[in-house]
Amino acid sequence: MRNRIAALRADRGLTQAALAQRIDVSRQTINAIETGKFDPSLPVAFRLAREFDLAIEEIFLAE
């Protein structure tokens, strides 16, 4: 699933590790989500949406 996480994270000056800590996942999880190798669970998707103050649909893009 395509997503805007890398761009959103960069816009806020966050490293993968910093974002991971803020939403309580590993840095490897953030990397896997950003590269499309892993689709996050719904709770993780909601935490990302809260972190970026966006709707889930604004972060994750249908292919």
Q: Which residues, 6+ apart, have CB-to-CB distance to 33 below 8 Å?
A: 3, 5, 39, 40, 44
List CB contacts of 39: < 8 A, sequence separation 6 or more: 1, 33
Q: What is the pLDDT of residue 1?
A: 83
Q: Which helix (H) or strand (E) holds 22?
A: helix 16-23
Q: What is the pLDDT of residues 10-45, one digit of tens each?
A: 999 999 999 999 999 999 999 999 999 999 999 999
Q: Taking a C-beta distance cutoff of 8 angstroms, is the pair 52, 60 a contact?
A: no
Under 8 Å between Cβ of 47 and 24: yes
Name the pTM for this structure.
0.92
Enumerate domains of the chain plus CATH numbers.
Answer: 2-58 (1.10.260.40)
